[in-house]
């Protein structure tokens, strides 16, 4: 009832439910489960202990007019859960791969486009759509129905409110909401859940106060922080993220 190409590499104790199609040049790690009616195209490398629920499509061709059947990949880390009807496109020749990290939870109807990179321990809720080349750093939570513009970056430990339109980069450690998308505070709950101590949380809070409470624009706030003696690690991370941004930063 399944169609499994003999060239696919299937690990030990992998269970594949009826009516799924596994193409050649596919690797599925041990103890993973593939639900019914799943299609996994060539170029997929799926880690150990993963769960892929019915109707999902992994490593389909990128929705990019420049794609010319290059041999590209989708890499999915260990212990990741992919719920029903998720689509994950393989990379283009630009980066050669789309990457999903370890311990991620990607919920129903989400779409992850070509050349995206999703870090470890991320939660992507129902019907989130990531355009091409989006980068989501570790420990990010995306609310349902978010849409993210191509080449955007979402910083680690951030939380994005459901239904958000992400047009610019989101720095680490914060919560964002409203339209247009803006800073609404630091992600205290997420930071505490990830064992940030009070000193680190206060460092982050004090840093973002300069952006949000003093009336400075982003460039001025960065300049003030760079002149500060004895910058703490959290300030350095925030400054580096903002300075590397190519898409601009959301409003404070």
Task: Reduce the DSSP state of residue 129 to 3 states and report it.
Answer: strand
Tell me if 223 sits within 8 A of 213, measured CB to CB: no
Cβ count within 10 A of residue 135: 18
Taking the C-alpha atoms of residue 230 and residue 153, their distance in angstroms, rounded to an integer, is 27
Provide long-range contacts, Cβ within 8 A and 24+ apart, for 143-149.
144/107, 149/247
Q: Which helix (H) or strand (E) holds 210?
A: helix 198-212
Which residue numbers are catalytic? Answer: 114-115, 132
């Amino acid at each position: 009832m399944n169609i499994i190409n003999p060239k696919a590499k299937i690990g030990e104790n992998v269970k594949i439910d009826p009516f799924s199609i596994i193409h050649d040049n596919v690797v599925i790690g041990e103890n993973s489960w593939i639900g019914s009616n799943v299609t996994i195209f060539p170029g997929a490398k799926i880690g150990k202990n993963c769960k892929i629920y019915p109707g999902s499509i992994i490593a389909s061709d990128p929705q990019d007019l420049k794609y010319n059947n290059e041999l590209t990949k989708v890499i999915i880390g260990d212990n990741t859960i992919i719920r029903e009807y998720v689509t994950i496109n393989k990379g283009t020749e630009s980066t050669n791969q789309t990457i999903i990290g370890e311990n991620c939870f990607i919920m129903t109807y989400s779409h992850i486009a070509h050349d995206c990179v999703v870090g470890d321990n991320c939660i992507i809720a129902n019907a989130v759509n990531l355009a091409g080349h989006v980068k989501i750093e570790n420990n990010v939570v995306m609310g349902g129905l978010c849409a993210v513009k191509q080449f955007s970056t979402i910083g680690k430990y951030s939380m994005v409110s459901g239904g958000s339109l992400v047009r610019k980069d989101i720095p680490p450690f914060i919560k964002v909401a409203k339209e247009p998308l803006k800073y609404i505070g630091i992600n205290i709950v997420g930071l505490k859940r990830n064992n940030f101590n009070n000193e680190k949380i206060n460092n982050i809070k004090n840093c973002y106060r300069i952006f949000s409470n003093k009336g400075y624009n982003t460039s001025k706030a960065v300049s003030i922080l760079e002149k500060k003696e004895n910058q703490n690690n959290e300030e350095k991370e925030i400054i580096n993220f903002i300075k590397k941004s190519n898409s601009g930063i959301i409003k404070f």
